[in-house]
Chains A and B, each alone.
Chain A
Amino acid sequence: MSTVKIPPVLRQAVGGERTVDVSGETVGEVLTNLCDQHPAVGAQILTPDGELHKYVNVYVNDEDARLLQWTDTPVGDGDTLMILPAMAGGAR
């Protein structure tokens, strides 16, 4: 079971939670299970073909999953996944 940190813009899609515990052996499995549990998340981070949008960064602990084995990166108990889209707010 991994802990997935949900960014502010996706919290409504998971019922307001800041973290969600999701099972899965790899980054891909965890994200698939997350989107199965919370289809509204899938609508935001997945393309119609079920692929992850390029503007979504996924970190495993403090490393960018793209620089590990991307969706094949193994994850285990105690690992934290962070879904991280860019934020623009600053001035107004």
Chain B
Amino acid sequence: MSPSYQDLLATAREVIPEVEPSEVAPRVEAGDGPLIIDVRETAEWDQGHLPGAVHIPRGFLESRVAGATSGTDQELLISCASGQRSLLAAKTLADMGYTNVTNLAGGFARWKQNNYPVEVPRILSPAQRSRYSRHVLIPEVGEEGQLKLLDSKALLIGAGGLGSPAAYYLAAAGVGTIGLVDDDEVDESNLQRQIIHTTERVGMNKGESAKEAIRALNPEVQVNVHPFRVNRDNVLDLLEQYDVVVDGADNFPTRYLLADASLMTRTPLVHASILRFEGHASVFNPYDGPCYRCLFPEPPPPDLAPSCGEAGVLGVLCGVMGNIQATEAIKVLLGIGDTLSGRLLIYDALGMTFTELKVRRDPDCPSCGPNADLQLRDYEAWCAGVGSHDHVGATA
């Protein structure tokens, strides 16, 4: 005869120890409890759960448990509403080779009756769940990651070639606050690549123009327009308001200023630069990997570093590089994947090649080295002065 539901529970009880809330609550409070896996449905989980619990609905248990645990010998406590679904789930885990699995007796209901602490998760609204559904489906993002993005603040230096696609995609991704620093106005010659602006908005401040585009795309994003140039006096205040800074500047003084300010405020810096058919991208995590000056100790003189206005740039290149920046910014904000920290990515659109160079922390770096005397300087004067006399002692 096939086993009944009661038979299944009885069989499971023979192999799965049950733990009373009173036994485990002190450990949970002290932060040294087992990994708690809550197998209820999403609507139940949203009403509240044990602190620190991981949510894997019963139907996904077998497929997702490996991603949530560190190994089959990890101590697991399975919970549901009353302790029955979790008992069968625990038995399944035991059958899968998990050797240290217990079941929460009486489930979440008994836990709550005993007035032990409960976490009520912040959840996406139905509209947000729909808008960001493709993110929520990705295990590395999920609802938790999307909520993190909604709480995040990204500062973009420049709403031009790189800032246009970066701002657009960060807004679409639901990065909750986007700051746009640009004192420039939209010009007809920008529209070949600066896709966040429109012909209609020629003459408008670029930050204001981008804000209109973002509002139309995703009205829940807060856009802060900073219609000025970033400088020594405002850079620290600006960066301190944000979680990540995306550098799409058009000149070396601003890039070195941002590099130093990102170290001083410990704000991760997502770098890209472009010229003609070529783009560079990297990520500089303050004091955790190289900084911009480890890579480029000094700027080249103007004739070796023309601007896109002087030397030209393929419009589409801005889209590729700006979106690499948006990708890296999202990874930095979510703390997922391997960023370009310690690597310089070089994209050659003409040859359609991606090349990676290793970037290491310079122990003598004047910005992030142990003996650095880091302070904001007159970067215009410094950039104009270096390059003409400094050299390394080597003949070529």
Q: Give A residues with C-beta under 8 Å from B.
A: 7-10, 18, 27-28, 31-32, 35, 44-47, 49-57, 59, 62-64, 66-67, 70-71, 82, 84-92
How many angstroms from the CA of A20 to the CA of B304 in the assembled complex? Answer: 19
How many angstroms from the CA of A18 to the CA of B157 in the assembled complex? Answer: 31
Asked if A51 and B393 sit within 8 Å, CB to CB, the answer is: yes
How many angstroms from the CA of A57 to the CA of B300 in the assembled complex? Answer: 10
* Interface residue? B118 (CB, 8 A): no
Of A31, A51, A70, which contacts B391 at CB under 8 A? A51
Question: What residues of B have a CB within 8 angstroms of the CB of A27 in the complex?
Answer: 396
Known: A28-B396, A31-B396. A91 touches B248 (CB 8 A): yes
Asked if B305 and A28 sit within 8 Å, CB to CB, the answer is: no
Asked if B248 and A51 sit within 8 Å, CB to CB, the answer is: no
Question: What residues of B have a CB within 8 angstroms of the CB of A31 in the complex?
Answer: 396
Min CB distance, A54 to chain B, in Å?
5
* Interface residue? B286 (CB, 8 A): no
Min CB distance, B364 to chain A, in Å?
11
Known: A52-B392, A82-B357. A87 touches B280 (CB 8 A): yes
Asked if A18 and B350 sit within 8 Å, CB to CB, the answer is: yes
Known: A47-B391, A53-B387, A64-B357. A90 touches B396 (CB 8 A): no
Q: Which chain A residue shows the least CB distance to B305? A: A88
How many angstroms from the CA of A52 to the CA of B393 in the assembled complex? Answer: 8
Asked if A44 and B305 sit within 8 Å, CB to CB, the answer is: no
| A to B contact number (C-beta, < 8 Å) | 160
Instruction: For the complex of A and B, list the 10 residue pairs with the smallest distance between their C-beta atoms, beginning with the closest.
Output: A91-B160, A91-B158, A31-B396, A91-B250, A86-B296, A89-B308, A87-B273, A90-B248, A55-B300, A71-B394
Question: What residues of B have a CB within 8 angstroms of the CB of A55 in the complex?
Answer: 296-301, 304, 386-387
Asked if A64 and B360 sit within 8 Å, CB to CB, the answer is: yes
How many angstroms from the CA of A82 to the CA of B280 in the assembled complex? Answer: 13
Name 10 extra pairs, CB < 8 A, besides A9-B304, A89-B308, A89-B313: A8-B277, A9-B305, A9-B306, A53-B300, A86-B280, A90-B162, A90-B272, A91-B157, A91-B163, A91-B182
Known: A18-B350, A51-B392, A82-B357. A90 touches B274 (CB 8 A): yes
* Interface residue? B275 (CB, 8 A): yes
Question: What residues of A have a CB within 8 angstroms of the CB of B356 in the complex?
Answer: 62
Query: Which residues 272-298 of B sit at the A interface, judged by CB distance below 8 A?
Result: 272-278, 280, 295-298
Of B182, B278, B309, B390, which contacts A8 at CB under 8 A? B278
Asked if B305 and A87 sit within 8 Å, CB to CB, the answer is: yes
Question: What residues of B have a CB within 8 angstroms of the CB of A63 in the complex?
Answer: 357-358
Supply 7 A–B pairs (Cβ within 8 Å), ascending by A. A8-B277, A51-B391, A54-B392, A55-B304, A86-B296, A89-B161, A90-B158
Asked if B396 and A71 sit within 8 Å, CB to CB, the answer is: yes
Question: What residues of A have a CB within 8 angstroms of the CB of B280 in the complex?
Answer: 86-87
How many angstroms from the CA of A59 to the CA of B307 in the assembled complex? Answer: 23
Known: A64-B358, A90-B160. A53 touches B394 (CB 8 A): no
